[in-house]
Amino acid sequence: MFLNRDHKWVYLFQEGNATMKALLGGKGANVSEMTAAGLPVPPGFTITTEACNAYLAYDLQFPEGMWTQSKESLKDIEKKTKKKFGDPKNPLLVSVRSGASISMPGMMDTVLNLGLNDETVEGLGKKMKDRRFALDAYRRFISMFGHIVMGVDTEKFDRVLARYKSQTVGGGDTDLTPELLEKIIVAYKRIIFADQHGQEFPQDPYEQLRMAISAVFDSWNGRRAIDYRRVNHIPSDLGTAVNVQAMVFGNLGWDSGTGVAFTRNPSTGEKIVFGEYLLNAQGEDVVAGIRTPKPIRNLADELPEVYVQLIDSFRKLETHYLDMQDIEFTVEENRLWLLQTRTGKRSGAAAVRIAVEMVQEGLITQNEAVTRVNAQQLDQLLHPMVDPKADAEVITTGLPASPGASSGLVALDPDEAVELAEAGHPVILVRHETSPDDFHGMAVAEAILTARGGMTSHAAVVARGMGTPCVVGAEEINIDLREGFFRSGMHSVRRGDWVTIDGSTGRVLVGQVETIQPKLGEYYDTLMTWVDDIRTLKVRANADTGHDASIARDFGAEGIGLCRTEHMFFGEERLALMREMILANDLASRQAALDKLLPIQKKDFYELFEAMDGLPLTIRLLDPPLHEFLPNFDELQAEIANLKLKVQKADSFPQIDQLLKDIVEKEELLHRVEQLRESNPMLGHRGCRLGMVYPEVTVMQTKAIMEAAAEAVIAGIWVYPEIMIPLVSVDLELASQRKLVEETAIQVRGSYGLKFKFTVGTMIELPRAALTADKIAEHADFFSFGTNDLTQTTFGLSRDDSGRFLSHYITNKVMQNDPFQVLDQDGVGQLVKIGVERGRQTKSDLKIGICGEHGGEPKSIAFCHGLGLDYVSCSPYRVPIARLSAAQAVLAERDLKAKAAGKPIPAPEPVAKKPKKSAKA
C-alpha cells in the first residue's frame, strides 16, 4: 500500500486513458478516453482505486496527500469552466460519482449539485437568470446528500416533496414554484437536523466534498455493493475510484434535458439506438423512474440539432470501443455533454446477436465474438417463455425490460423477498420503483415488477444484467404497502399470491402460467458454429431417459457421459420390484425379482441408444445404497403404531385379520430396513461394493444394456455402450467387476450373432482411486471423474448438510466458492490432475472426462481443458454453456502462451462476412 505523500492519488481527465481502468475505474478511464478523443465531456478528475483501498485499510482516513491533490485538481476545473468552487456569485458545482474497474451500475453512490449552500444558490440563480432552477437544484442536492452522505431515510424527503407537489396544478416536480421550493428546502434541512441529532446540513462546500468522497469510498462496502459482487463474482479488493466532475444542468428549461442511451437495443441486440430522456430534468430522474421518460427517437423532434450530434457521438464511441455502449448525457441549453460511457449490460439474446452482427459488420473477429458472450448470458437464452396456448388472465401491462417468464409469490419489499426465498419459495418482487438499496431482494427474485420507470431505469438495467425477467412502468398498478397488496383495475393481488411475469411482452398474469422453452434462432446457431470450430474438449450430457437425451442432443451434446441407472428404478411399479429384490431372502428369490426388472431396464436403455444414435452412451451401474429404495425407518415405525391402534378400534374379524397381515408385512419390511441401515450410507454398501456382494445385480444390468444395444443395432441404430463401474477404490474391485461385465456382455452379444464394440471403465470419485489411478487404469478403458462425490470425500463434506455453514464460509472468505458449484482446483483439482497423469502413465490413450455438475461450470471446464481431458459431461440445459466455455478456454490458453512468449496475441481467421448456419439448434 502506498503511503508516500508524493504518491499520485488523483488524475485529471486529460491525464488518463482507457488502459488505466484498474487504477481509474471504468468510468474514469472512459471519460479520460472521451476527453482525449475531443468529445464534449465536462472537465474533472478521478481519485484512484488505490486511494479507496488505502482509505478502507487505514481507519477510513484519506491517504496522505490525496486531499491536497484533490483541491489542486479542483483548480483545473475552475480554470476550464471559469467558475469558482464556493464562490457566492459565480459558483462551480460538481458531481461526485463512483466508478469501479468492473461495472456495478447503481450499486455505489453518486452526489449531484455539490457546492450549493444558502449563499451559492442565490449566486447560481442570478448567474443563470433563473432562481427557480437554482432552488430546484438545491432541494435535489440536500435530499441526495442527506440520504447518501448522512444516512437519512429517503422516504422522509419523498413525503415532503409529494405533499408540496400535490399543491400544484400539474402535480409534477416541474410545476413547483420558487416559493414552494423554498419551503421544501427548509423542510429538508429540518429533517436532517432531527435525524442527525442536531447536526446541521453542511454549508462549507469543501466539507461537502470531503464528506461526499468518503461516502463514495464507504459505499464500496455497502450492502448492495457487497451483494452485487457476490452475485456477479466480482473480487472485493478492487475498490472504487471517485470521479469529481463539473456539473452541467439538464433542468435549466425545455431546451435542456438528460438521458441514458445504448448504441444498440440491450434487450434484443437490434442495431438501433435505444434509450430514454427527459427534458428539464437531472440524471437521477431518468434512472430512478420518478418520471416516465420518452423514447430517444422523440428527441429528433424536440431538439433536432442535439439529436444529430448525439447519434454521431454514439457512432464514434461504438466504433472506438468496438462494443455496444451505455452512455449518459446531458443537454444544457441546446449544448450536448457526454457524462460517461461504458460497455452496456445486455440480455443473453442481445449479447449473442450483437457479437454475431459485429463480426458481419467487420468490427470484430469470430474469436472475439466468442469471448464477448459469457455463460450467464447464454444461459438466459434458455429461459422459458409463456406458452402462447396458455389460458392466461392479464392483470396489467408494462414495458418489457428484461426477457423471460417466471412465476412466484408476490413480495412488496426486498427484505420480505429474501425471507420468502430463504424459505424455498419463488419470489416476484413488486415495487413502486427499485433503488440500489433493493438489490438484495432483486438478487433472490425470479422476476421484478415496478409501477414506475422506463427501459433504462434501475430495475431494467439491473434485471437485464442478472438475466431476471422484468416489467417496468406498469403505471396502472397501485401498491399499498401498509395493507400488503397491489391493485390494477378489477384485480387485487395480495403479498404471497401467485403471479407470472412475462418480461418479453410486458404482461403481468394471474397465477402460475404454463411456460415453454424458446427457440434459439439463427444468431445462436451462427455463434455456436464458431464455438465448435474452436473448442477441442468434447461435451456430453448427463441423462437418464430418452427424453432428456434428445434434449441434450438438440443442444449439441456429443454423447451421454453419465446415465444413472438407479434413477430408472423410481416410479411405483419399478420401486415395488426393486424392493422385492432387496427383501429377497435367497438367491433364487432375488434372481426372480431381477428377471422382472431386466425388461424394464432394457426398454430404458433402448430409448437412450435410439436418442443417441451414432454417439457414445456411458451407463453407470447401480450406485446408491440399497436402503434408499426402502421406506424411511421412522415413518415405518409410525405406520405400524398407527395400524396397531386401528386393530384396537376395529369392529369386525375380517378387518382385524387384514390389519394384522398389514402389520406383519410392515414389520418384516422394518426388520429389513433396520438390517440395511448404515451410520454413514454415502461411504457404505454402495457402488461396486453392491456388485461384489450381489454379482447377480451386475449381471442383470449388463444383460439389459447389451440386449438393448443388440436390438438397436438390428434396428439400424449405431451404438457405442460404455459400461462404468462406480465407487472403485481398489484396483481388484474393478478387475473383478470388469471380468463379470465382459463375460456377460460377450455372451449376450454372441447370442445375437453380433460383434459391436463396448468398453468398460470406472468412475474416479474417491481420493484413493485418484492416487492409485495407475493401477486402476490397468483394468479400465476410460476414466470419468465423479467430482460431486470426490469433493465430498476430499473435504469430508456432505452435500446435504454443508449448506448450513458453507454460505458463512463464503461470506467470511474462508472459501471463495461453494466447492460443489465451482471445482476446488487447489485440492480436488489436484487429485483430478494426479489421476489423469497416473492413469495415462499406464495407458497413454486412456479416455478421460468428468461427469459431476462441475462439467457445466466455466472455470471448472477451463481447468479440465488445461489437464487435457477428452470431455466434460453436464445436465442437458448446461450443454451450450459447456460448449462455449470449452471454446473460451482454448482462446484464453492461446492468449497466455502468446503473452508468455512475448508475442502479440494471434489474430485468428479473417472476419467472416457471411456466417454459416449450424446443423443443430
| Residues forming the active site | 458, 851
Q: Residue 857 is placed in which grid cell? A: 461450470
- Residue pair 216/97 in contact (Cβ under 8 Å)? The answer is yes
Helix (H) or strand (E) holding 155: helix 154-165
The H or E element containing residue 407 is strand 405-411
Residue type, 273: V
Residue 186 CB partners (closer than 8 Å, separation 6+): none
At 192, list the grid cell: 436532517
Tell me how many degrees the CA angle 614-615-616 measures, rounded to the nearest 5. 130
Q: Do 797 and 821 contact (CB within 8 A), yes or no? A: no
Distance CA 513, CA 82 (A): 61
**Cα(737)–Cα(745) distance, integer angstroms:** 12
Return d(Cα 138, Cα 165) in angstroms, integer. 16
- By C-alpha distance, which of 476, 474, 471, 498 is closest to 489? 476
Q: What is the DSSP string of 75-99?
A: HHHHHHHT-EET-SSSEE-EEEEEE
C-alpha span between 279 and 697 (Å, rounded)? 76
Supply 550's cell numbers: 434428445
Strand partners, 651: none
Q: For residues 254 and 603, what is the distance between their CA atoms, to the nearest angstrom?
A: 74
Question: Which of 218, 146, 222 is closest to 439 using CA atoms?
Answer: 222
Amino acid at 586: D
Q: Which three cell numbers stand for residue 662?
A: 398389514
Amino acid at 527: L
Contact 467, 383 (CB under 8 A): yes
Q: Which three cell numbers stand for residue 333?
A: 441549453
Phi then psi dihedrals of residue 64, to 5 deg: -60, 130
Amino acid identity for residue 156 in this structure: K
